[in-house]
Each structure stands twice: as structure tokens, then as C-alpha cells.
Structure 1
Amino acid sequence: MAQPIRTGFIGLNPDSHWAATAHLPALASLGDTYEVVGVANSTPESGRKTAEALGLAHAFASPADLVASDQIDLVVVTVKVPLHLELVTLALEAGKHVYCEWPLGNGLDEARQLTELAERQGVVAVAGTQARAALEIVHLKQLIADGYVGKVLSTSVIGSGGNWANTTSADLYYLFDAANGATMLDIPMGHTLAAMRDVLGEFGALEAVLRSNFDTVTVTDTGESKPKTAADQILVQGTMASGTACSIHYRGGTSRGTNLLWEINGTEGDIQVTAELGHAQMVQLTVRGARGEDTELADLMPDPALYEGRPEFPGARNVAGVYALLAEDIRTGTRTAPDFRDAMELHGVLDKIARSAKRSM
């Protein structure tokens, strides 16, 4: 039996945030494929508390100590986006395999730097665009490839970001500052575009408008009003590289209607994907379709047996899918998991959207 992949986290709190709610259950669902052995947080004290709470063997005083340790095979970076470049660079220069949360970097230039470094180092470097590993997205990709809708004529998406309206908590205020690279365009829309690329291929010519209904945001913890520079309305239209017509609208906050609606329309049929939030990477997706003589949409979900033994929380289930691919890549030399070059190309799509929006102002 292969030895577990010894994993160290940079940024792990045992009772909150994404690493605890998604990554830890994901790794636990994969049996002894991985072993979480260490952590490094913003302070040595925080790291010690996490290690004690989770029973980890090592609490490293700093990220530099963690990546230098011969007890670590894989470094997982789950901190805020502005710190990704520095911390992922440390891990790569130490020759470690890396799993970095999406967005990979704060913009295209940082993503390119990290991609080039990872490829020079020859390690497995994965970005957490986990919607690509969702059972529903993998199934949807196969439906399209098998010709369920015939020739794809158009695709359209409406999504709600949840955040990015006019209120926030103090902990999430950084999302509302565009300089941090963690906007609605970067996070929920970026994750959804990653899934769209897998299902329908590359994007072609795109034109975009970014607008804000709110220039300030109320911090609910304190009642303060703070500046908001992240757009709360994102409108994109154009084509996929195949020529398929494409339209996307993301809006801040939530709607009383459908908060994720993705339609794919073709010569032979139609498919509709819906969810309770526009974060395709972390919500339960429902797939329905109709074709031929059908007059109503019907269930098109994956085989229920595929969900057995996987985490109930869709976010953790999807992250587990990425970790399963990552383990295979580390052990066999394949490249099946969403890697840094994939992430860099996705950053390129977002950069194209942002540049188009600037031209439209």
C-alpha cells in the first residue's frame, strides 16, 4: 500500500473558514490517501492551537519552516488571495507539491509567475477550481459530448454572488476591495467559468460591462460605512471559441428568484443547471433537460450511487474530487487535476473581461 501523502496547511483554523469546512472533510473522505501532519498560521500561537485541536504532529512557527520540513510532501495554501504569491512561491522553491485555493494569484501577472515557477520545478501544482470536479459538471460534460442537445447554439448564465451588495461582515470586507483580487468576478464567476470551459470549451470574443449600484458597504459588526470598489453587476456577452452565443450576468447579493441558472440550448435539446447560489464550486447543482419530442424538463442528475461515501456538503465533495486527482498525479506522473496552467488561462479570461469593461466606461 502506498504511503499517505503528508500534507501541511498554511492557513487552517479548526472551527471556521474554508479549510476546515471543505478541505478537512474532503481529505477524511479519501481514507489514508492523505495524512494532515502540520500547520503554519499567521502566528506560532495560532498554529499551536490548531495542531492541538486537530491532533496534528507539527505546529510550525512559520510558513517557511513548514515548506522546509522533510515531513511535508504537499503544501496546501488556504489564505487570502494577496498572500498567495509569496506563500506559493516559498513552497515551490522548496520543491513541494502545492494545492492553492482559487484565485491562484492577485491577477494574471501573478498567476503567470507561479505557473512558470511550478513548471520549472517539475512539481504537481493544483489550483482549487473545484467546480470542475463536481459530479454534476463531469456528468454535464459527458451529456454535451454525447450529443444530448445536438449542436450547441447558445448558453446563458445568471448568478448571484451572495456577497458584493451593500452589507458585509468585518471578516469579509476584504472581498469588497478590488485591489485584493477576490471580487465577485474573481471568485463565484471565476469558478463558474472554469466549469463552463470544461463543458463547452474555450471562450472566444467577449465584451463586458462592470457596474456598481453601491459605492459603500455597511459592516454589520460595527455599523461602519466603508468604501466599496468591487463591482456588483457584471455583464458579459460574446461567443465561445466554437461560435456558440454566450451571455453571463452576475449580480451582488442574492435574489428572490433563481440564484444560479445556466442554460445550454441546442438543435436537439436543452439543459438547465440551477442552484441556490452563484458559487458553482460549493453548492448542490441540479441538472434537468429535455430533447426531441419532450415538452418538459426532466431529471438529468448523475447516478445516485456516485454520491455514496462522499461528503454531504457539495463544497467538500468537490474539493475531494480535486484531491483524488491530485493524488493520482503525484503518484503516477499524470496531469489530470486542475493545474496552475489551467488557472493561468482562466485568469486570462477574467483579465479579458476586466479590460473590456474598462474600454466600455
Structure 2
Amino acid sequence: MSPPIRLGVIGLSSSGWAATSLIPPLFDPLLSDKYTITAVATRSETSAQASATKYSELTGHKVKGYYGENGAKDLANDSEVDLVVVSVKIPDHWKAVKPAIDAGKDIFVEWSPGRSLEETAKMAEAAKAKGVRTIVGAQSSHSATIRKMKELVDSGKVGKVISTNLVRTSLVLPSVLKFIGKTSTEDSAYALDINNDATLLTILTGHHLTNLSYILGELKEVSATTAILFPNVQIVDANGKATGEIIKKTAPDQVILTGTLGGRHDGAIVTVHIQAGAATGRFLWFIDGEDGVIEVKNRPENGPQGVFVGFNEMKLLLNNEEVGLDQREEDRLRNTGKAWLEFAKGDKGQYETLEHSVVVWRVLDAAFKSIADGGRKIAVA
């Protein structure tokens, strides 16, 4: 048996995505012999020591704690770290990723890995030149729903694909999606500034484009429109209670992207509508073909948010009849854990990489150009 992959986690504090979603699956028996945490890095000495203490107890061995301006670099240069996990705000990704690549360490970085096509491409090129493996936190292609959708399309159940239409309306809850719509928590207020590149277009639209490309292939042209319908955002505390602070928002809370597919589904029409601020949350996705239609929608038991990217499986129908989802032992790991499982397989694993993230970012880059040009159709370079 191969020795476990030793992780150094940047951004692993007492709360946040790393603490609640990325790291917990690693302690499942399916993964516990494949990974171990050896170092953490956070901004402050206090949080780094608290995190190191916690994970020393959970792993049964000493976990080092790095912090401050040089914390990411010190962690990357630790000889007991094989894979550097970057789970910090998008504007800080490159600063955290570069030392890891320079040190020749494999890297995990959350979606979106860069603030732009140029930055993501720069990461991918640097990783390739250094010969390191990369994994990107766009894990929803591991969902049983997405796998079954791809199987139905590839097996010809709907015939020639004519169009696909996806609508997601996101509510703002204290625990998730804290930066869109009418309210925001203080720690997510940075995403209200469009210059920080953590928007509905870069994050949620990017996640759904990753799934779409996995099932149907890449877009060859795109047009896009955005709007800000809730420009004055109320800051709320962790319990959703208003603090009285109002922040002016410059990032969009409405995104509509249209385009056409290339490749094996050449010419099929694509529509993606992501919005915030509505009274209820919903998720609907149709793939229409000459011989049938696939429909995906949120299950009531998922709650009003119906988070699809990270966790919950959806209701899948083929020609109005529900399709059962194939259940596997590893499904208990959810999408984040299943991605870790695939990465541990080495060359045989299937997971998102920086190289594929560049492909998705080309679509987003074309969308940005279209928005700047009044919604004109732009070819995906």
C-alpha cells in the first residue's frame, strides 16, 4: 500500500469551506489511509495554533501551524507536505498557489482557481512546467445525478441534442452563498466588489459550466447579460440578523448566458440563468433532444436552497418518468470526498484540473467580453 498523501492546508480555520466540506471526508475509512494532514496555514497565529491543535488530535500526530504573510510559502517548503490545499478567497489564490508550484508540490485549489482566464492559464502553465499534479474544487461532476445525465445523453436516450436550459435561483442563507442578493455576511462582503472576481458569473456559473461541458462538451460561442437589481446590500451577522451596515454592490446579482455548443452536439442552443434575490430558491435543468427530454430539479427535502454544486442529489426525470440514481459505497463521501478518492488513484483518476479550468474560463472570458460589448455574441477562443 502506498503511503498517505501528506496535506498542507492553507485556509483551514475553525469555520469556512475547508473546515466544513473539504477536510471532513478525509477521515472516512475510504480515505483515511490515503491522506493525512501534516500542516495548516492561516492568517493569524491564534487561528493557526487552534487549527494545528485540533488536527493533531484528530490525526494522532503533530500538525504544524504556519501563519502570517509568509505562512503559505513556509507551508509549501515544508518537506513533510506533498499536496498543498488552497482554500482561501479567490483574490488570494495565485499568491498561495505560486509558492507551492515553485516548491514542486502538487496543488488543490478551489474554483475559481484564478481571477481571470489569464491568471488561471498562468497557474496551469506553471504547474505543467514544474510537472506537478493539480486538482480543482469543482467537484459536482462526481454527483450521481450528473453521472446519470451524462450516461443518458451518451447512450442516445434523447437522440440528437437540440438545446439545454438551466435556471438557478439562489437564496442567501447564513451558512452558504453569503455574498449575493439583498444581504451579505461581513466576511463575504469582499465579493460585493466586482473587482474581486468572486461573483455569480465566476463562481456559480463557472461551476455549472463545468458540469455542462462534462455532459455535453464545450461552447463555441456565447453572449451574456448581467444586472444589479439589489445595489444596496444589508450586512447581517452569522444568524442572519441585520447589523445596520449597508454596502454598495458592484457585482451582478443576475446573470444570463446564451450560446451554442460545438463538437458532437454542434449547434445545440445553451441558456444558463443564475439569479439571486428572489423569494424562493429553485433549480431546473432541461436537456432536450429529438427523441426525449432530461429534466433535473431540486428535491423538497433539500430545502429551499437546494445546493447542487457541493452536496445534494437532485430529482432526475427522463420523458417525465423519474430515473433511479446508481448508488455506490463512495457516494457517502459526497462530491468533495469523491474527488479526493479519484485524485488518490493517480493517473487513473478522473477529477477537475487546472488544464480543464482554463477551458471553462475561456467561456467565462468570452462572456465578460460580451457583457462589455452590450451582449454581442463572442466566439470562445
After TM superposition, is the score higher than 0.5? yes
The residue number in structure 2 matching 1:4 is 4
Q: Does 1:224 align with 2:242?
A: no
Taking the aligned partners of 2:307 and 2:257, their CA distance within structure 1 comes to 17
Matched residues, percent identical? 31
Taking the aligned partners of 1:277 and 1:236, their CA distance within structure 2 comes to 21
Structure 1 position 298, deviation (Å): 2.1
SS of the counterpart of 1:350?
helix
Q: Does 1:234 align with 2:255?
A: yes
The residue number in structure 1 matching 2:52 is 51
Match of 1:260 among 273, 277, 283: 283
Structure 1 position 31, deviation (Å): 2.7
Aligned partners of 1:208 and 1:354 also within 8 Å: yes
What is the TM-score normalised by the length of structure 2?
0.86
Taking the aligned partners of 2:64 and 2:35, their CA distance within structure 1 comes to 15
SS of the counterpart of 1:155?
strand
Give the letter aligned to residue 6 of structure 2.
R
Q: Does 1:341 align with 2:355?
A: yes
Where in structure 2 are the equivalents of 1:27-46 lying within 5 Å?
Answer: 27-29=26-28, 30-46=31-47
Aligned partners of 2:55 and 2:63 also within 8 Å: no
Where in structure 2 are the equivalents of 1:71-220 lying within 5 Å?
Answer: 71-163=80-172, 164-220=180-236
Structure 1 position 255, deviation (Å): 4.2
The residue number in structure 1 matching 2:13 is 13
Structure 1 position 186, deviation (Å): 1.2
Deviates more, 1:148-157 or 1:213-222: 213-222
Taking the aligned partners of 1:223 and 1:216, their CA distance within structure 2 comes to 12
Structure 1 position 73, deviation (Å): 0.5
Where in structure 2 are the equivalents of 1:268-279 lying within 5 Å?
Answer: 268-275=291-298, 276-277=304-305, 279=307
Q: Does 1:64 align with 2:81?
A: no
The residue number in structure 2 matching 1:355 is 369
Give the letter aligned to residue 319 of structure 1.
T
Aligned partners of 2:159 and 2:289 also within 8 Å: yes
Give the letter aligned to residue 314 of structure 2.
T
Taking the aligned partners of 1:107 and 1:278, their CA distance within structure 2 comes to 28
Q: Does 1:23 align with 2:22?
A: yes
Match of 1:245 among 240, 261, 269: 269
Structure 2 stretches lacking a partner, 5+ long = 57-61, 173-179, 238-242, 299-303, 376-381
SS of the counterpart of 2:345?
helix
Structure 1 position 259, deviation (Å): 1.4
Taking the aligned partners of 2:330 and 2:111, their CA distance within structure 1 comes to 26
For residues 281 and 187 of structure 1, do their structure 2 counterparts lie closer, same or farther at Cα, with a shift above 3 Å needed? same
Taking the aligned partners of 2:114 and 2:186, their CA distance within structure 1 comes to 23
SS of the counterpart of 1:174?
helix
Aligned residues: 345
SS of the counterpart of 1:288?
strand
Taking the aligned partners of 2:52 and 2:288, their CA distance within structure 1 comes to 50
Structure 1 stretches lacking a partner, 5+ long = 292-296
Structure 1 position 2, deviation (Å): 1.1
Taking the aligned partners of 1:254 and 1:66, their CA distance within structure 2 comes to 42
Structure 1 position 246, deviation (Å): 1.3
Structure 1 position 265, deviation (Å): 0.9
Structure 1 position 278, deviation (Å): 6.9
Structure 1 position 21, deviation (Å): 1.1
Aligned partners of 2:228 and 2:254 also within 8 Å: yes
Structure 1 position 290, deviation (Å): 3.0
Over aligned residues, Cα RMSD in angstroms? 1.8
Give the letter aligned to residue 188 of structure 2.
L
Aligned partners of 2:145 and 2:316 also within 8 Å: no
